[in-house]
Structure 1
Amino acid sequence: MRIDVEDLHVAYAGRTVVAGAHLIADEGEITGLVGPNGSGKSTLLRTVYRHLKPAAGRVLLAGTDLRELSPVQTARRVAALPQERGGDFELTVREVVAMGRTPYKRAFAGEDTADRDIVARALADAGMAEHDGCRFTELSGGERQRVLLARAFAQQTEILVLDEPTNHLDIRHQVELLALLRAQRRTTLVSLHDLNAAASVCDRLHVLHDGGVVASGPPREVLRPALLAEVFGVRAAVVEHPLTGDPLIAFDHRSPADETADVGTAWA
């Protein structure tokens, strides 16, 4: 299922945060949003999973305007992992993940065998099967993150919208989560602060700056030193990753971007 964002304008807390954004997330691909803090990434994602209403423009899911869908219809198409993780659920890990089945249940309906199998698979995929009986409140930040990701998997939607999903995760679990997203092959729209992670996992990147999309394309076409200097204010060289061949960004931690010219790339 493809996502099209067309001329999107979103106001939040009395100011325009997203202004005229256009982007696509193709079916089965991982599409990344990158940009400095305050560039509009989270606001745009909140609009895609209907937490915010646009002031203008529209979001299309497989050609259907999001505003034409009911909340339940949307929840059967889009699962979200927002930055705001919600309250401290007084529930077990398994009960939290089972909440992902809510869009498919009638009021007061209990679980069936299919639900239990889906929840078990989601817990296993997120590496949390051994914690299914633990209280959510007893978990570390990284463990909670994986439980909420499992809840999104249990929702069994065609689209995943993830806002900084690697936050609170150690390096091993970051790598495992990103590999898991690639294995899912669902249409995924994800914001990431780590540009090297974005270059590794994403099929396409959209760079946001001051509420607009200033660059789009495959990571190796987008992540150029001149753009990194202009948008992020850093000096960097872009080289080939010795293990994967992906673009690898080497940041200069000694000199700000405005003290040097473009240092170029080390690969074609």
Structure 2
Amino acid sequence: MRIDIEDLHVDYAGRTVVAGAHLVAAEGEITGLVGPNGSGKSTLLRTVYRHLRPSAGRVLLDGADLRALSPTESARHVAALPQERGGDFELTVREVVAMGRTPYKRAFAGEDDADRDIVARALADVGMDRHSGRRFTALSGGERQRVLLARAFAQDPDVLVLDEPTNHLDIRHQVELLALLRARRRTTLVSLHDLNAAASVCDRLHVLHAGTVVASGPPREVLTPALVAEVFGVRATVVDHPLTGDPLIAFDHQGPAGTGTAGDT
């Protein structure tokens, strides 16, 4: 399924956080949102998984207004991994992941074999199958992140909405998670702080700055030194990654853009 965001405006805490955003997450592609802190990435994603209601504009799921769907129907199509993780579940790892099957169950209905297979596969995908009996509250931040991602996978959605999914993960699990997203080829809308991770995993990027989309396109076309300087305020050059051939953004850590640090020409 495809997500279209049309002229989206979102007001939050008395101010406009997203102003007139237009973007597309094409079917089967990984679409990234990048931008500095406060640019509106998380707010925009919250409208897609219906945590926030836009003040104007629409979010369309294959041409249908997402707000016209019931919460249960919406949850069958869209699964989210938000930055706000909710409470500390007094549940086992497996019980947390099994919550992803809730949109498909009638009240008080138990698990069937299909549910058990889906939950087991989701746990294995994130490398938490050997920890299924542990308490969620006993996990590290990175382990919790992987369990909540497995819960989203267990929801078996058409669209994944992931807000900074690599937060709290060590480098190995970051690489594994991004490889897993690529392998699944599910329609995915993901926000990432790491521009190199975004360049590696995303088919298309939308750059947000001060609540508006200022650039859209394939990573190689979007992540130019001029854009990085303008939007992120740092000097950078873009080269080919020696292992993958993906765009690799090398940052000047001696100072921000425009400060006249050593090496300026």
TM-score after normalising by structure 1: 0.96
Aligned-pair CA distance for 1:68: 1.1
Q: CA–CA distance in 2 between the matches of 1:126 and 1:170?
A: 13
Please name the residue that 2:213 is paired with: 213
Deviation digits for residues 113-172 of structure 1, max 9, x if unmatched? 110011000000111000000000010000000000000000000100000000000000
Question: Which amino acid in 2 is paired with 1:4?
Answer: D
How far 1:67 sits from its partner (Å)? 1.5
Q: 1:62 — aligned with what?
A: 62
String of CA shifts for 1:63-84, please: whole Å, max 9, x gaps: 0011211101100000000000
Q: 2:102: which partner in 1?
A: 102
Is residue 128–residue 147 contact of structure 1 (8 Å, CA) maintained in 2? yes
Q: Distance in 1 between matches of 2:241 and 2:10?
A: 37
Q: Which residue of 2 aligns with 1:253?
A: 253
**Alignment partners' CA distance in 1, 2:46 and 2:112:** 31
Shift of 1:14: 1.2
SS at match of 1:79: strand
Listed as ranges, the matches of 1:125-136 within 5 Å are: 125-136=125-136
1:179-205 deviation line (CA, Å, top 9, x unaligned): 001111100000000000000000000
After superposition, the C-alpha distances for 1:90-123 in whole angstroms (9 at most, x for unaligned) are 0000000000000000011111111001100000
Alpha-carbon distance, 1:22 to partner: 0.3
Q: 2:195 — aligned with what?
A: 195
SS across alignment from 2:258: helix
Give the whole-Å Cα distance in 2 for the aligned partners of 1:251 and 1:260: 15
Shift of 1:255: 2.5
- Counterpart of 1:148 in structure 2 is 148
Partner of 2:93: 93
Structure 1's unaligned 5+ residue stretches are 264-268
Which secondary structure does the structure 1 equivalent of 2:188 belong to? strand
Output the CA distance in 2 between the equivalents of 1:67 and 1:81.
19
**What does residue 227 of structure 1 align with?**
227
Question: In 1, Cα distance between the equivalents of 2:137 and 2:111?
Answer: 23
Asked whether the 8 Å contact 1:78–1:159 carries over to 2, the reply is yes
Question: Which residue matches 1:50?
Answer: 50
Figure out how many residues of one structure are paired with residues of the other and give that number.
262
Deviations 1:22-66 (A, max 9, x none): 000000000000000000000000000000000000000000011
CA RMSD of aligned residues (A): 1.1
Show the counterpart of 1:266.
Answer: none
Q: Give the letter aligned to residue 27 of structure 1.
A: E
Give 2:174's aligned residue: 174
| 8 A Cα contact 1:235 1:260, kept in partner | no
Matched residue type, 2:42:
S
1:111 aligns with 2:108: no
**Separation in 2 of the partners of 1:91 and 1:15?**
38
| Percent of matched pairs sharing the same residue | 85
Secondary structure of the structure 2 residue equivalent to 1:166: coil
1:79 equivalent to 2:83? Answer no
Aligned twin of 1:24: 24
Structure 2 unaligned blocks of 5 or more? none
Q: State the alpha-carbon separation in 1 of the partners of residues 70 and 260 from structure 2.
A: 52
Cα separation, 1, equivalents of 2:139 and 2:229: 39
Q: Distance in 2 between matches of 1:37 and 1:260?
A: 24
Structure 2 length as normaliser, TM-score? 0.98
Q: Counterpart amino acid of 1:234?
A: V
Q: Which portions of structure 1, spanning 4 or more consecutive aligned residues, are displaced by more than 6 angstroms?
A: none
CA–CA distance in structure 2, aligned partners of residues 260 and 189 of structure 1: 37
CA distance in 2, matches of 1:255, 1:93: 44
**C-alpha distance in structure 2 between counterparts of 1:50 and 1:157, whole Å:** 15
Between the aligned partners of 2:25 and 2:175, the Cα distance in structure 1 is: 22
- Following TM superposition, by how much is the alpha carbon of 1:260 offset from its aligned partner in structure 2, in angstroms? 5.5
State how far apart, in whole Å, the 1-side matches of 2:253 and 2:86 are. Answer: 35
Cα distance in 2 for residues equivalent to 1:255 and 1:33: 25
